[in-house]
């Protein structure tokens, strides 16, 4: 999941589920006819095996002993420790790893990653059922760190990363203006101050100045204030990109990853799965390239956390539980657009 932020100090040096899209839900348990190797193979079996083959590339490397220690924790301590453990396992240096913020998110997701600000937002209002589901929290963190990894590949690419400097700067200004207007028109100042949206004194000053200008109808001064506030973004991003390349290395333009990385950038700049009310349109969400990859990593993380030992068994149990419940069926129908 991705989210945009009002945060004005961006890049400042200071600081899965199986795919059912190809088959009707009522037919997932039916046997595929005329299979030559595996007899009695159902559509569900095939999808899960395909997922297993792909997901093995996304192993976190967390050991059973490390999971045992992690499982002793709960709530925010569990979330923070999951973040620390995974960033360490993936070798993300502290100076370039994503910041962790706790604030409200309009959707019901527990977490979201903002590529424009390189931060993971933990929803202040995570439902109790999700907060108590440690496997879900751990796999969600893995999901967002997959988005972080996608973003780092963009910045490391010698050509796409250079193009991203201007593209992301323009997108940041656009999102900054939209975020400010939404906060001013949809929430009271007290609600905004209590929400966690304003992470720094600079954010608070920007919001209050913008609030007064907008409410007084001085849109010229409001737009100029947004432009001024967003001006340092490009230079901060450029400095951050240099640090990323120095730390992780450059990806050459003739790399076989180039086409994939371009898709990352295109998706990050054109998030198209949010409805006007801020809720997620899952029929679009699951068809987005960056989300499909993140969901694969998330599914692998669920398997590792479960300790079950058999990916296919776990995925099959999860899929059957979802398909056999009305809530799960309704959700899956949203995904396939029925």
Rounded mean pLDDT of 219-232?
94
CA distances from 228 to 115, 200, 232 (A): 21, 17, 8
- Residue 249 forms part of a structural domain: yes
Decide if pLDDT at 33 tops 90: no
Decide if pLDDT at 23 tops 70: no
DSSP state of 157: B
- Residue 3 forms part of a structural domain: no
Alpha helices in 187-218 (DSSP H): 189-195, 201-215
Question: Measuring CA to CA, which residue among 114, 97, 140 is closest to residue 294?
Answer: 140
- Residue 8 forms part of a structural domain: no
At 49, the pLDDT band (50, 70, 90 cuts) reads confident
Decide if pLDDT at 208 tops 60: yes
- Give pLDDT, residue 192: 86
Global confidence as pTM: 0.83
Q: Which of 88-92, 141-145, 234-238, 284-288 has the lowest mean pLDDT?
A: 284-288
Decide if pLDDT at 18 tops 60: no
The pLDDT tens digits of the residues spanning 175-197 come to 899 989 988 998 899 888 877 67
Rounded mean pLDDT of 13-19?
34
Q: State how far the Cα of 194 lies from the Cα of 139, in Å rounded to an integer.
A: 28
Give the tokens for residue 123: 């929803």
> What is the maximum alpha-carbon separation in the chain?
73
Percent of the chain whose pLDDT exceeds 90: 56
Decide if pLDDT at 45 tops 80: no
Q: What is the mean pLDDT of the chain?
A: 85
Q: State how far the Cα of 7 lies from the Cα of 119, in Å rounded to an integer.
A: 10
CA distances from 305 to 68, 250, 298 (A): 9, 33, 10
- Residue 9 forms part of a structural domain: no
More confident residue, 270 or 72: 72
More confident residue, 272 or 117: 117
Residue labelled with tokens 């901060």: 236
Decide if pLDDT at 3 tops 80: no
DSSP secondary structure string, 228-242? HHHTHHHHHHHHHHH
Decide if pLDDT at 218 tops 90: yes
CA distances from 220 to 157, 185, 189, 206 (A): 38, 17, 22, 15
More confident residue, 25 or 175: 175
> HSE (CB half, 13 Å, CA atoms) of 118?
26
The number of helix segments (H) and strand segments (E) in the chain equals 15, 3
More confident residue, 42 or 178: 178
- Give pLDDT, residue 24: 52
- Residue 92 forms part of a structural domain: yes
Q: State how far the Cα of 46 lies from the Cα of 51, in Å rounded to an integer.
A: 9
Q: Is the dihedral of CA 172, 176, 179, 185 positive or negative?
A: negative
The whole domain housing 200 covers 25-336
H/E element, 311: helix 311-323
- Residue 99 forms part of a structural domain: yes
Look at strands 99-103 and 111-114 and give their pairing.
unpaired
Q: State how far the Cα of 77 lies from the Cα of 321, in Å rounded to an integer.
A: 29
- Residue 121 forms part of a structural domain: yes
Decide if pLDDT at 103 tops 50: yes
Decide if pLDDT at 39 tops 90: no
At CA 264, angle to CA 255 and CA 295, rounded to 5?
A: 115
- Give pLDDT, residue 13: 34
Percent of the chain whose pLDDT exceeds 70: 82
CB atoms within 10 A of CB 237: 23
At 5, the pLDDT band (50, 70, 90 cuts) reads very low
Q: State how far the Cα of 84 lies from the Cα of 240, in Å rounded to an integer.
A: 21
Question: Measuring CA to CA, which residue among 191, 126, 160 is closest to residue 253?
Answer: 160
Q: State how far the Cα of 8 lies from the Cα of 179, in Å rounded to an integer.
A: 11
**Total structural domains within the chain:** 1
- Residue 316 forms part of a structural domain: yes
């Amino acid at each position: 999941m991705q989210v945009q932020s009002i945060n004005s100090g961006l890049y400042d040096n200071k600081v899965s589920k199986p795919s059912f899209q190809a088959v009707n839900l009522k037919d997932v348990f039916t046997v595929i006819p005329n299979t030559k190797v595996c007899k009695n193979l159902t559509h569900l079996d095939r999808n899960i095996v395909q997922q297993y083959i792909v997901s093995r590339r996304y192993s976190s490397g967390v050991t059973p002993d490390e999971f045992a220690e992690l499982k002793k924790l709960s709530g925010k301590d569990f979330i923070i420790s999951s973040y620390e453990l995974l960033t360490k396992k993936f070798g993300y240096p502290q100076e370039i790893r994503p910041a962790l913020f706790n604030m409200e998110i309009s959707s019901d997701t527990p977490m979201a990653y903002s590529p424009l600000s390189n931060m993971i937002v933990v929803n202040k209002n995570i439902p109790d059922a999700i907060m108590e589901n440690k496997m879900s929290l751990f796999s969600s963190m893995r999901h967002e760190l997959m988005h972080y990894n996608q973003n780092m590949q963009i910045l490391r690419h010698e050509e796409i990363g250079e193009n991203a400097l201007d593209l992301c700067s323009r997108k940041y200004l656009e999102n900054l203006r939209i975020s400010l207007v939404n906060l001013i028109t949809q929430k009271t100042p007290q609600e905004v101050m209590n929400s966690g949206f304003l992470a720094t004194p600079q954010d608070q000053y920007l919001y209050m100045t913008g609030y007064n200008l907008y409410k007084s109808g001085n849109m010229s001064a409001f737009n100029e204030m947004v432009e001024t506030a967003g001006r340092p973004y490009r230079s901060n991003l450029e400095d951050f990109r240099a640090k990323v390349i120095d730390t992780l290395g450059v990806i050459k333009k003739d790399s076989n990853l180039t086409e994939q990385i371009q898709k990352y950038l295109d998706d990050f700049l054109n998030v198209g799965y949010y409805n006007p009310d801020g809720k997620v349109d899952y029929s679009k969400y699951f068809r987005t390239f960056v989300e499909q990859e993140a969901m694969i990593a998330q599914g692998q993380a669920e398997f590792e956390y479960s300790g079950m030992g058999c990916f296919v068994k776990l995925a099959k149990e999860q899929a059957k539980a979802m398909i056999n419940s009305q809530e799960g069926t309704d959700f899956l129908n949203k995904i396939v657009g029925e």
